[in-house]
A and B are shown apart, each in its own frame.
Chain A
């Protein structure tokens, strides 16, 4: 963009600093608090201690909530990505009204208020008697599918259609074309879709709020319950930091494999 006035630039600079401070600071507080040796939060922190992490891993319900969240995220992200990939491959070259309609349908869970979906699914599950973990898993599959769909669609549409035709002209049937030509070229989209689906599932609240049950809670819901009924405790800071750490590691790993450009463009 072309140059503009100094005043404009100053406004933008100030706004950016303020915005980043407001956005990042609360998260920073939580991470710092997790390492505090005291019972209460102090800024600047007086020392460094891992006691809260020890307490976090020592608490049965925290541990199992963490384990459940990881299992749930792994399973739902994988299923969601497979489903999203299938949908994207179907729609990649399809034009016309039906194609557009289907595309809106597959992207709908992204914009639809997930809280309503949570209520609706709980009602349905209660009516038909669905076990808790399965219900949660299915909910997260629906919530995660648009992410896989979106990134794979972008990758598949960016593919030169002549490549698949070239494969066919050389004798590769539909299945072999899919595995030898299409998938090797769209796998970064698949992987970044999986990453988003995992992260979304891991931090998901609105459906888990309704669909978790006694003994079967996800980490975010466990943190929420703690906050509501036992007040602000630093073990929560540790739990939160563990969640953040997992995300950082995952993003770093995927970034190595797929590249920064893919992740940011995927959004």
Chain B
């Protein structure tokens, strides 16, 4: 994908605060009409990156482009974006309708058209009846919708969202995730949002950038990042993962065989024989076979029933292992049992142990 189709482009952006590097050499292209999320633990630089796109922070190096226009030195109020803040930031002294119309007033839209747009926006978020209320009279979920309406009514080139669902309880959050996604697709707005919740990122995004210590560890579609994490950090951040180390002993037809302290396992990769690698396997890909089947021998240490899924914690010569089984029948496996853990080559991935910088620089698009 070339830069022309990108609504937002960051090129080599760097930002430090005092002695701390918040964002280090980040380059990203975000295609029009997609939802892009910045995911990572606190302090990873995701919020700073968002604020750099908005213009609330100036980069020390690098450039920011919105719709092909270089906006690096343009102040926020002249960039074509709008934002939903974590605290919603609804103007307490204005009614819901006055809040929503604010951006239109700034853009000097004619009064009649303003009123129509406001009504439309409020209808979209299903708050038409509350136009004359004040923010303090609304619930958290309602305030969040007003913040959304206020941001989309101005039809921005890019919509930025800073942990927009963080303050909502679980049920409301899941409801809003669905609504947010459908709204975005209906309007075709390019959206960038920041979250620390990996489930949310995987649910909402077209593409995810996983960040750590100011650097993008991996960018890709949710499924790609989940199934094929680049390194141990990404693997463990996006859900649980098993890690197994060993040496490559065979290589054929796109599959490597790895000799681990507990036996041989397969992984879809093409590494040279003799290389020492670490592979990651998702717990749901682990098959538990009765003893004498293929795979790594292990002993069940703990069994945790979690409703639709049962977690099995095991010890093996290759290290601790976790397996998730759906529909595990009660008593199928119990503590102390000896099992064999196996997986298909496609269920495993070789991790990149190289330092993170390699992963971030030059990352264009897919």
Query: What is A's interface to B at a CB cutoff of 8 Å?
Result: 160, 162-163, 165-174, 176-177, 180-181, 184-185
The answer to whether A171 and B107 touch (CB under 8 A), given A162-B89, A163-B89, A166-B91, is yes
The secondary-structure label for the interface of chain A is helix
Name which of B23-31, B73-81, B194-202, B207-215 contacts chain A: B73-81
Determine whether the beta carbon of B89 is less than 8 Å from that of A170: no
The 8 Å CB contact of A160, one of B75, B82, B89, B93, is B89
Query: What is B's interface to A at a CB cutoff of 8 Å?
Result: 54-56, 75-78, 81-83, 85-93, 102-103, 106-107, 150-151, 154, 160
Which partner residue on chain B sits nearest A164 by CB separation?
A: B89
Determine whether the beta carbon of B85 is less than 8 Å from that of A170: no
Per the bound structure, the CA–CA distance linking A176 and B151 in Å amounts to 18
The 8 Å CB contact of A173, one of B56, B77, B103, B160, is B77
Determine whether the beta carbon of B86 is less than 8 Å from that of A169: no
Determine whether the beta carbon of A162 is less than 8 Å from that of B102: no
The 8 Å CB contact of A185, one of B93, B103, B154, B160, is B93
Residues of chain A within 8 A of B82, CB atoms compared: 169-170
Least CB distance from B140 to A in Å reads: 15
Least CB distance from B51 to A in Å reads: 9
Determine whether the beta carbon of A163 is less than 8 Å from that of B91: yes
Residues of chain B within 8 A of A172, CB atoms compared: 77, 102, 106
Which partner residue on chain A sits nearest B81 by CB separation?
A: A169
Determine whether the beta carbon of B75 is less than 8 Å from that of A171: no
Per the bound structure, the CA–CA distance linking A5 and B76 in Å amounts to 60
Per the bound structure, the CA–CA distance linking A104 and B78 in Å amounts to 36
Residues of chain B within 8 A of A168, CB atoms compared: 55-56, 75-77
Residues of chain B within 8 A of A177, CB atoms compared: 77
Residues of chain A within 8 A of B56, CB atoms compared: 165, 168
Residues of chain B within 8 A of A162, CB atoms compared: 85-89
Per the bound structure, the CA–CA distance linking A32 and B106 in Å amounts to 59
Residues of chain B within 8 A of A170, CB atoms compared: 77, 82, 102-103, 106, 150, 154
Determine whether the beta carbon of B85 is less than 8 Å from that of A166: yes
Which partner residue on chain A sits nearest B79 by CB separation?
A: A169
The 8 Å CB contact of B89, one of A165, A174, A176, A184, is A165
Determine whether the beta carbon of B86 is less than 8 Å from that of A165: no
Per the bound structure, the CA–CA distance linking A169 and B147 in Å amounts to 12
Least CB distance from A173 to B in Å reads: 5
Residues of chain B within 8 A of A166, CB atoms compared: 83, 85, 89-91
Per the bound structure, the CA–CA distance linking A185 and B91 in Å amounts to 9
Least CB distance from B257 to A in Å reads: 54
Which partner residue on chain B sits nearest A166 by CB separation?
A: B89
Per the bound structure, the CA–CA distance linking A171 and B104 in Å amounts to 9
Per the bound structure, the CA–CA distance linking A169 and B55 in Å amounts to 9
Residues of chain B within 8 A of A169, CB atoms compared: 54, 76-77, 81-83, 151, 160
Residue in B81, B82, B88, B93 whose Cβ sees the most chain A Cβ within 10 Å? B93
Residues of chain B within 8 A of A180, CB atoms compared: 102
Least CB distance from B184 to A in Å reads: 18
Which partner residue on chain A sits nearest B156 by CB separation?
A: A169
Least CB distance from B19 to A in Å reads: 14
Which partner residue on chain A sits nearest B101 by CB separation?
A: A170
Per the bound structure, the CA–CA distance linking A181 and B77 in Å amounts to 14
Least CB distance from B123 to A in Å reads: 20
Per the bound structure, the CA–CA distance linking A172 and B106 in Å amounts to 6
Least CB distance from A121 to B in Å reads: 40
Residues of chain A within 8 A of B91, CB atoms compared: 163, 166-167, 181, 185
The 8 Å CB contact of A165, one of B85, B92, B102, B103, is B85
Least CB distance from B128 to A in Å reads: 21
Residues of chain A within 8 A of B160, CB atoms compared: 169
Least CB distance from A106 to B in Å reads: 25
The answer to whether A176 and B106 touch (CB under 8 A), given A168-B76, A184-B93, A185-B92, is yes
Q: Which 9 A-B pairs have the closest CB atoms?
A: A171-B106, A170-B103, A162-B89, A166-B89, A169-B83, A168-B76, A162-B85, A168-B77, A184-B93
Determine whether the beta carbon of B89 is less than 8 Å from that of A171: no
